[in-house]
Amino acid sequence: MDLPLGGVCKAGESRKLETGKWRSFRPVVDKAKCIKCGRCAEFCPDSCMEIKEDGAEVNLYYCKGCLICMRECPVDAITKEVEEK
Amino acid sequence: MKGKTAILEGSRAVAEAVRACRPDVISVYPITPQTHILEDLARFVSSGKLKSQFVRADSEFSAASIVYGASAAGARAYTASASQGLLLMNEVIYAMASTRLPVVLTAVNRAISAPITIQPDHQDTMSLRDTGALQIHVESMQEAYDAHVQSFRIAEDPDVQLPLMVCMDGWVISHSYEPVTVFPDEAVAEFAGSFTPVQKLDPSNPLTYGAYADQDVLMEYRYAMMIAQEKAKDKIRSVTKEYREVFGNFDGDLLDTHCTEEAEVVLVAMGSMVSTIRAAVDELRSEGRKVGLIKVRTFRPFPRDEIIAACGKAPVVAVLDKSLSVNSGGILATEVKSAFYGGSSQPVIVPFIAGLGGKEVNRRVIKEIVDIASRAAEKQGAQETVWMGLDRSFFS
């Protein structure tokens, strides 16, 4: 690995950082309950929620497992599961 | 080269040098006793004598941040401050140094509150000694001018790439008048060259400054600054040598010595106090006293080997400090003692606190220091710090 002068790096390098590794709990979406309101996507601090045709989908590469989505879901469509390492 | 000699205020001498080095961006917030530099530069810009972008800021933190951004964008950038203003810049100066931005900063030394004072000592710049910025301490108006002409090239060298602080005592240098030789702007501009950044902010090739790092590389970045400061030693030597060749008179590089040959007591000091010591040493030498002087020009990088060599076989070394690490002692003295540790020659090193908060240090005080240091030589081992002019009646 090189050590770039002053820690300056190319913009966009954080895309490579797999923050999903930090997770203790994983949000699980019950798509049958999901009403696609988009509230979870609005509140997700890491923009990991995407509202698709069949409901909300979590990007587990970046999701840190804060579970704000679960707390904010108005129809309790999101639950948590312990992340097995 | 022939210059023009005029009676100049120290601040004006600095402004003349900075103008001729043609910084692209200047951002300074006024604070006593730095303000005259800011005023002179602002006048140069408004009259068209200097084509810099002059950015007014709402605080020293902002001024430092503005020159940080300018330097990251590839501009030659300059700022100045003093005392509390330097403390407010502290966080940004750490960032400048570690992201390797070669901003030149004039530090007009002034004591730190409380009690609030505008008198000079070195507590402000000593508080910034661990930032990674280079520190050059000057003793006269002429040296303030010379050091600024040299500063941009040293800081901007690809092997160095660190902020550089030119430190000059408030009032004694910033507001006093003395004959100063100023060289033609074109010659100075040629000497100072232009800034060719190793990398810079560019919308077509975006970079991240201030990225996150974990335990795997943070220590490595600190070590990289250790290497850069060591390399700065060679750069300072070569730039001062070239300055002598181009412009004539200039003494010293990392340090300067005066009458150290066969000296029995060597005084070590920085800043304007050095001029007073020179005069005292000359008087003492004419009386047959074997006294010498080492002026530490670059506190960072610290010239440890050069100090040891310059002390030679002197049995006694007296270190004069205008700053204090509370419960430890004078900061320069601590570093000088550390330089000698483990070496083959071990002089008796006597630390003096002299001139804190602008307390008078004249030739009489210097001679008293020499007498105290000479007597101390009889007692081996660690020496207690001597506080010159301390009114002990408050503590009895």
What is the pLDDT confidence band of residue B72, given thresholds at 50, 70 and 90? very high
The helix/strand/coil state of B266 is strand
Peptide bond into B179 cis (omega under 30): no
Listed residue (B312, B306, B333) closest to B321, CA to CA: B333
pLDDT digits (tens, 9 = 90+) for B159-198: 999 999 999 999 999 999 999 999 999 999 999 999 999 9
Q: Which residues of B82-92 are buried (b: 16+ CB within 10 A; e: fewer)?
A: bbbbbbbbbeb
Question: What is the CATH classification number for the domain harbouring A36?
Answer: 3.30.70.20
If DSSP codes are grouped into helix, strand and coil, which group holds residue B168?
A: strand
In a domain, A12, yes or no: no
| Contact criterion met (CB below 8 Å) for B235 and B154 | yes
Q: Do B100 and A10 touch (CB under 8 A)?
A: no
Burial B213-240 (b: 16+ CB within 10 A, else e): eeeeeeeebeebbeebbebbbebbeebb
Q: Identify whether A8 is part of a domain.
A: no
Q: Mutation test of the interface with chain A: which of B198, B200, B205, B207, choosing the one with the most A Cβ atoms within 10 A?
A: B207
Contact criterion met (CB < 8 Å) for A6 and B207: no
Distance from CA of A3 to the nearest CA of B (A): 8
CB of A19 within 8 A of CB of A39? no
Among the partner-chain residues B210, B211, B217, the one whose CB lies closest to the CB of A3 is: B217
Q: Report ipTM for this prediction.
A: 0.83
Cα separation, B23 vs B149, in Å, equals 11
Give the domain range for residue A71. Answer: 19-82
Query: Token digits for B226?
Result: 């250790």
Query: A7 and B210 in contact by Cβ < 8 A?
Result: yes
Question: CB–CB of B208 and A8 under 8 A?
Answer: yes
- What is residue A1's predicted lDDT score, i.e. its pLDDT? 62
Cβ separation of A3 and B208 shorter than 8 Å?
Answer: no
Q: Does the beta carbon of B342 lie under 8 angstroms from any beta carbon of chain A? A: no
Tell me, yes or no, whether A31 lies in a domain.
Answer: yes
- pLDDT of B353 above 90: yes
DSSP single-letter state for residue B328: T
Q: Are B209 and A3 within 8 A, CB to CB?
A: no
Mean pLDDT of B86-114: 98
Rounded mean pLDDT of chain B? 96
- Identify any residues that bridge with B7 across adjacent strands, giving them in sequence order: B179
Q: Mean pLDDT over residues B317-325, rounded?
A: 98
In chain B, residues with a C-beta closer than 8 Å to the C-beta of A13 are 208, 211
Q: Do the beta carbons of residue B331 and residue B299 sit within 8 Å?
A: no
- In A, what residues contact B, Cβ < 8 A? 3, 5-14
Omega before B64 within 30 of 0, i.e. cis: no
- Domain count within chain A: 1
CATH top class, domain B255-395? alpha beta
Residues of chain B with CATH 3.40.50.970: 4-247
In contact, B111 and B31? CB cutoff 8 Å: no
Top-level class of domain B4-247: alpha beta
Q: What are phi and psi of B89, to 5 degrees?
A: -80, -10
Total CB pairs under 8 A between chain A and B: 42
Range list for CATH 3.40.50.920 in chain B: 255-395
> Does A11 reside within a domain?
no
Residue A3 lies in a domain: no
- Measured between CB atoms, which of A8, A12, A14 is closest to B209? A8
Q: Which of B149, B157, B105 is nearest to B128 (CA)?
A: B105
User: Are B67 and B40 contacting, i.e. CB atoms less than 8 angstroms apart?
Assistant: no
Q: Which pair of structure tokens corresponds to residue B350?
A: 């006597």
**Distance between CA atoms of B182 and B185, rounded to whole angstroms?**
9
In a domain, A45, yes or no: yes
Q: Which residues in B lie closer than 8 A to residue A7 (C-beta atoms)? A: 98-99, 210-211, 213, 217, 221
Q: What is this structure's pTM?
A: 0.92
Q: How far is CA B275 from CA B108, B254, B271, B299, in A?
A: 17, 17, 8, 17
Cα separation, B358 vs A10, whole angstroms: 48
Asked whether residue A50 is assigned to any structural domain, the reply reads: yes
d(CA B340, CA B363): 28
B393 contacts chain A (CB < 8 A): no
A9 chain-B contacts, CB cut-off 8 A: 207-208, 211
> With 90 as the cut, is the pLDDT of residue A15 above it?
no
Q: What is the pLDDT of residue B378?
A: 80
User: Is residue A44 one of the residues assigned to a domain?
Assistant: yes
